[in-house]
Amino acid sequence: MKNSINHINELRKNKNAIILAHYYQIPEIQDIADYVGDSLGLAREAEKTDADIIVFAGVHFMAETAKILNPDKKVLIPDTQAGCSLADSCPPKEFEEFIKQYPDHMVITYVNATAEIKALSDIIVTSSNAKRIVEQLPLDQKIVFAPDKNLGTYINNISGRNMVLWDGSCHVHNQLELDHILKLKIDNPNIPLIAHPECQAPILEIAEFVGSTNALLNYTRNDSENKYIVATEGGILHQMKKHSPNKEFIIVPSDELCNCNDCEYMKMNTLDKILHVLQNEINEVTLHEELITKAYKPLKRMLEMS
């Protein structure tokens, strides 16, 4: 592994490349990345980078976002099969027909969507900024929110809105069950539950804190408790433990057979695959110019409103 890391470091220096990694990547990738963050942080970092090559250690829609923001740069993804169940839950043709039913509605789309869905949208949001952006809009503004119904329901509940929701979800968060969490709460009395808003509403209702991946990390860094039940993808525990080595974190398991909750798509990326794409400059993300132009507008609006 050490040789791979040395080779990666040499290549990214010689090729003026940057490695961006999501919090859900394996620890080895997080540790070598130039920047580790959630979707909003990664989008901001992608927009401002002066690198010639962006290696995006995440899933495909994230690499697409980097390409939309950097059409003249080479964006590489370590594994082209690293998709996203949430993005897949919103097919472009079906969504286009769906929003035709609401011609007087603004279309707000969660960043976990394909470039084609972004191009059909008015504003893109992340879990970090969705509430803040929605609250900047007039109260009488009619809104279609896609593709995550759980995040949309959460925003409706805390903002008093009545957004029309597309019926999509992230399998990693949607599969978490209230019964498992209640058992963890019984076994760990007085331990706070912190949850990502892609979880189902009954889980969010009993959580002591709800927030984006980055917000969950910051909460555990700044809060005085020493132990947490964490309802999100398990990759974030690496950063939580790095920043708070004396604290304990219990991930809500995806089922009774494991103490984990991993996204199999996020975990497809490896150090060897990063080395391979950097060496050969393959797995490049390509998008048509017209699609980039259409998808850029709602992304840019998000960055401005954030």
Per-residue pLDDT of the chain (306 residues; tens, 9 = 90+): 778 899 999 999 999 999 999 999 999 999 999 999 998 899 889 999 999 999 999 999 999 999 999 999 999 999 999 999 999 999 999 999 999 999 999 999 999 999 999 999 999 999 999 999 999 999 999 999 999 999 999 999 999 999 999 999 999 999 999 999 999 999 999 999 999 999 999 999 999 999 999 999 999 999 999 999 999 999 999 999 999 999 999 999 988 767 789 999 999 999 999 999 999 999 999 999 999 999 999 999 999 998
Encode pLDDT of 222-269 as tens digits. 999 999 999 999 999 999 999 999 999 999 998 876 778 999 999 999
Overall pTM surpassing 0.75 (yes/no): yes
Instruction: State the pLDDT at residue 182.
Output: 96
The reported pLDDT for the residue numbered 183 is 94
Contact yes or no for 263/234 (Cβ under 8 A): no
Q: How confident is the model at residue 62, as a pLDDT?
A: 96
Q: Which long-range contacts (CB under 8 A, 24 or more apart) does 300-304 make?
A: 301/122, 301/123, 301/124, 302/43, 302/111, 302/123, 302/124, 302/125, 302/126, 302/129, 302/133, 303/43, 303/44, 303/47
Q: Looking up tokens 């994230």, which residue turns up?
A: 62
pLDDT tens across 1-42, in order? Answer: 778 899 999 999 999 999 999 999 999 999 999 999 998 899
**CATH numbers and ranges of domains, the chain:** 2-83+266-286 (3.40.50.10800), 86-169 (3.40.50.10800), 172-251 (3.40.50.10800)
Residue recorded with tokens 């974030």:
236
- What tokens does 119 get? 């191009």
Cβ 148 vs Cβ 112: under 8 Å: yes
Task: State CA 124 to chain mean position distance.
Answer: 13
- Of the candidates 270, 296, 279, 281, which has an alpha carbon nearest to the alpha carbon of residue 82? 270
pLDDT in the model for residue 2: 72
Query: Using CA atoms, how far apart are residues 100 and 95, in angstroms rounded to an integer?
Result: 9
- pLDDT value at position 96? 98
Tokens matching residue 150: 């759980």
Q: Report pLDDT for 256.
A: 73
